[in-house]
C-alpha cells in the first residue's frame, strides 16, 4: 500500500515534467483562427498525411509561426500561400492544383489501381486458359495410383 501511495505521489508531482508545452497562440483569437485556416490548407512536409494545422512536427510549428508573423505584418492569405508555394512547391498545398507538374499526385492512385486490376485480370485469364498442369509420365502414373487407392479406401 505504501509503495502504491508513493508511486501515485511521484506521478502527481512528476506529471508536470512529462506534460507537453502548449503551442504558442496569438493573443488575438481572430488572428489565431486565420492562422489555423491557412495552416489547414498547407501540407506538413514532414508528416505528409497531415495539414500543418494538425501536425505536431517542429517544421509544422515553425510554419504556423511564420504564418502568424506574416499575418501580423498585414499579408493576406493569398500572399502567404503564394510564399509557401514559391518556397516549397505545389506539394505544400493540401489540395494541389491540377496541372502538368502535379499530374502524378492526382492520377497516381488511379494509375496504381488500374495497374493492379490489369495484373489481376491477366493472372486470372492465364490461369483459366492454362488450367491444365503439364505432368511427366511418372507423375501421371503416381497421381493415377493415388486416386485409385483413394477410391478403394472410400468403397470400404
Q: Are residues 79 and 120 in the same domain?
A: no
Specify if 115 maps to a domain: yes
Q: How far is CA 132 from CA 44, 128, 129, 141, in A?
A: 53, 9, 8, 16
Instruction: Report the predicted TM-score, pTM, of the whole model to 2 decimal places.
Output: 0.53
Specify if 119 maps to a domain: yes
Specify if 42 maps to a domain: yes
Spatial distance between the Cα atoms of 10 and 82, rounded to a whole number of angstroms: 50
**131: pLDDT confidence band, cut at 50, 70 and 90?**
low
| Lowest-confidence pick of 6-15, 30-39, 76-85 | 6-15
| Lowest-confidence pick of 11-15, 28-32, 64-68, 105-109 | 11-15
Spatial distance between the Cα atoms of 141 and 144, rounded to a whole number of angstroms: 5
Q: Are residues 29 and 89 in the same domain?
A: yes
Alpha helices, H only, the chain: 2-18, 29-39, 58-72, 77-88, 103-129, 137-155
Domain that holds residue 106: 101-128
Classify the phi-psi angles of 79: left when phi > 0, otherwise alpha if psi is within -120 to 50, otherwise beta.
Answer: alpha
Amino acid at each position: 500500500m505504501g509503495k502504491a501511495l508513493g508511486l501515485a505521489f511521484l506521478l502527481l508531482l512528476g506529471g508536470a515534467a512529462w506534460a507537453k508545452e502548449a503551442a504558442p497562440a496569438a493573443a488575438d483569437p481572430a488572428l489565431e483562427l486565420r492562422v489555423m485556416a491557412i495552416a489547414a490548407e498547407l501540407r506538413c512536409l514532414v508528416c505528409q498525411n497531415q495539414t500543418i494545422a494538425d501536425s505536431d512536427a517542429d517544421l509544422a510549428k515553425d510554419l504556423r509561426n511564420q504564418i502568424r508573423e506574416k499575418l501580423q505584418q498585414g499579408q493576406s492569405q493569398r500572399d502567404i500561400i503564394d510564399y509557401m508555394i514559391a518556397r516549397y512547391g505545389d506539394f505544400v498545398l493540401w489540395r494541389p492544383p491540377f496541372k502538368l507538374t502535379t499530374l502524378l499526385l492526382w492520377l497516381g492512385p488511379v494509375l496504381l489501381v488500374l495497374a493492379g486490376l490489369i495484373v489481376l485480370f491477366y493472372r486470372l485469364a492465364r490461369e483459366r486458359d492454362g488450367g491444365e498442369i503439364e505432368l511427366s509420365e511418372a507423375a501421371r502414373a503416381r497421381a493415377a495410383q493415388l486416386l485409385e487407392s483413394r477410391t478403394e479406401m472410400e468403397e470400404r
